[in-house]
Amino acid sequence: MSKPLILVSNDDGITSKGIRKLVELMAQIGEVVVVAPDSPQSGMGHAITVGDTLRLSEADIFGDIQAFKCSGTPADCIKLAKHEVLKGRKVDLVVSGINHGSNTSISVLYSGTMSAAIEGAIEGTPAIGFSLCDFSWHADFSHVDEYVLKIANEALKNGLPKGIALNVNIPPKQNEKIKGIKVARQANARWEEEFDKRKDPHGRDYYWMIGNFVNHDKGEDNDEWAIANNYISIVPCQFDLTGHHAFSHLNEKWDL
């Protein structure tokens, strides 16, 4: 039997430590093709390039594995992979990451890592975004192998519901072994931003966005709880943002 075709992307850029780890692991279970940004694209969310050119070139950095660097966003990478690199070949699994830093809770909306995975789900392919909750460029990925392989193999073997991408967050390396894997919901947490206003040498105002991540969720079934208690969290995500619970309010209370 032929190996499954696995498309790998990320948002930290094609030279990041996290994507190298993910490529190494996926090569153990499938035929791997890499299409990833040529520079960091963190925080780009699901942006696509419409007002500028896109460039795509081969990148000889993963040995015998076919790889391309793209000037665009993570979502651009998945689109170009499908239409230009793979020319319509059926992809069995899209994996994105391994991101340097957490993508729990509301961060999934801003995450380029998850947007690559969600773009795969939009295209009808099982998709997973992997993140390590350690923002260091030199983060230790040595404890992730068995879990990344297990989750990817389960997706290949048993599939995913249509339109679903998995948001997988892995605790940072600790002395204690990871306790297991929790299927969780997105925590009720958010960034509470502040802006540090400064002056440049010409006297013009500029800003640094700062702030704190605040978790308002007291439950034990969410991704923030899982990570805090040394579990891997898996949150199934969908691209349909329809607020179905609001239909009755709008239909009954609004004069439309």
Superfamily of domain 5-186+218-253: Survival protein SurE-like phosphatase/nucleotidase (3.40.1210.10)
Mean pLDDT for 80-92 is: 94
11 annotated as ligand-binding: yes
pLDDT of amino acid 211 = 83
pLDDT in the model for residue 210: 87
- Structural domain spans, the chain: 5-186+218-253
Q: What is the pLDDT of residues 17-73, one digit of tens each?
A: 999 999 999 999 999 999 999 999 988 899 999 999 999 999 999 999 999 999 999
Amino acid letter for position 240: D
Predicted TM-score (pTM) of this structure:
0.94
pLDDT value of position 163: 94
Q: And the tokens for 95? A: 């994996």
For the stretch 100-156, pLDDT in tens is 999 999 999 999 999 999 999 999 999 999 999 999 888 999 999 999 999 999 999
pLDDT, tens digit (0-9, with 9 covering 90-100), for 156-171: 999 999 999 999 999 9
**251 has binding-site annotation:** no
pLDDT band at 1 (very low <50, low <70, confident <90, very high): low
pLDDT, residue 158, reads: 97
Residues facing 206 on adjacent strands: 198
Of the candidates 157, 167, 150, which has an alpha carbon nearest to the alpha carbon of residue 236?
A: 167
Task: Report how far residue 113's alpha carbon sits from residue 45's, in angstroms, rounded to the nearest whole number.
Answer: 8
Of 95, 82, 91, nearest in space to 19 by CA? 95
pLDDT in tens, 29-38: 999 999 999 9
Q: What SS3 string covers the chain?
A: CCCCEEEEECCCCCCCHHHHHHHHHHCCCCEEEEEEECCCCCCCCCCCCCCCCCCEEECCCCCCCEEEEECCCHHHHHHHHHHHHCCCCCCCEEEEEEEECCCCHHHHHCCHHHHHHHHHHHCCCCEEEEEECCCCCCCCCCCCHHHHHHHHHHHHHHCCCCCEEEEEEECCCCCCCCCCEEECECCCEEEEEEEEEEECCCCCEEEEEEEEEEECCCCCCEHHHHHHCCCEEEEEEECCCCCHHHHHHHHHHCCC
Phi-psi region of 198 (alpha: psi -120 to 50; beta: other; left: phi over 0): beta
Mean pLDDT (whole number) for 190-213: 92
What does the pLDDT read at residue 170? Answer: 98
Mean pLDDT of the chain: 95
